[in-house]
Structure 1
Amino acid sequence: MPANVNDAAVRAFIDAVNAGDRVAFSEALTPDATMTDDGRERDLLQWAEREIFSANGRMDVVSTADGGRSLIADFTNDTWGAMRTRWTFTVEDGRIARFDTGQA
C-alpha cells in the first residue's frame, strides 16, 4: 500500500478488506455508514458480503489523493476477477461514514 494513505480510517478499511475481517470492517465504519457502487446506492452490509467477504475481495492501492481519502485500486474478487476501481471516503470521528466506489 502506498505510504500516502495517511488517513487511519481508510487504512483500517483497506486492511480489513484484505484480511477478510468482518469485525474490523464493521469497526472501521460508523453505525450508519452508506455507500454507492458505480453511482448507485447500495445496502453496504449486503454489498460487502457479496463483493468482499464471500468472494475473497482484495484491494491493491495504485495511487492516492486527498491524504488517502480518494484512491485508485486494483480490486480483485472471485466473482469479477480484477478491475481498476476508484474509491472516495468520507470520514467522521475517525471512522468511515460513506464511501463511493466504481470502475475507474
Structure 2
Amino acid sequence: MSIAPGKLSDPAVAAFVAAVNSHDRQAFFDLLTPDATMSDDGSERDLKEWTDREIFDSNGHMDVQTESDGGRALVVGYRNDAWGEMRTLWRFTVTQGGKVSRFETGQA
C-alpha cells in the first residue's frame, strides 16, 4: 500500500513527490533552494543533469511506501523508463522557509 503525496507529513516533501509524479519540472525546481544539492547511492551528482535524466526525461514516479523522520525520510518504489522499478530510500533536508536544500537517494 502506498501513501498519497497529500498524506505525507512534511509539506515540502509532499510537494516534491507530487511534482515528480506529475512531471512538473517548474514546480519541482520552485521547491528547491537555488543552491540545492543531491546525491545518488552516496555519490554527489549534478542536480539538474540527474533530475533531467532520472526523473523528467524518463517518466520518473515515486510510490511512497513508508515515511519516517517527520516525513523527511521515505522508502519509495521508484520507477522510470530507464531502470524499471526499484526500492529506494530518499532523505530530505528542508529549510526553515519550506524549501528543499538537499536530497539523497539510493537503493533501500
Q: Which runs of 5+ in 1 are unaligned?
A: none
Residues 76-95 of structure 1: pairs in structure 2 closer than 5 A: 76-92=79-95, 93-95=97-99
Where do 4+ consecutive residues of structure 1 move more than 4 Å?
none
Residues 1-104 of structure 1: pairs in structure 2 closer than 5 A: 1=3, 3=7, 5-92=8-95, 93-104=97-108
**% of aligned pairs identical?**
57
TM-score (norm 2): 0.93
TM-score (norm 1): 0.96
SS in 2 for 1:56: coil
Q: Which runs of 5+ in 2 are unaligned?
A: none
SS in 1 for 2:59: coil
Cα distance, 1:66 vs. partner? 1.1
Residue correspondences, number: 103
Please provide the CA RMSD for this pair. Answer: 0.8
Q: Distance in 2 between matches of 1:56 and 1:71?
A: 19
SS in 2 for 1:50: helix
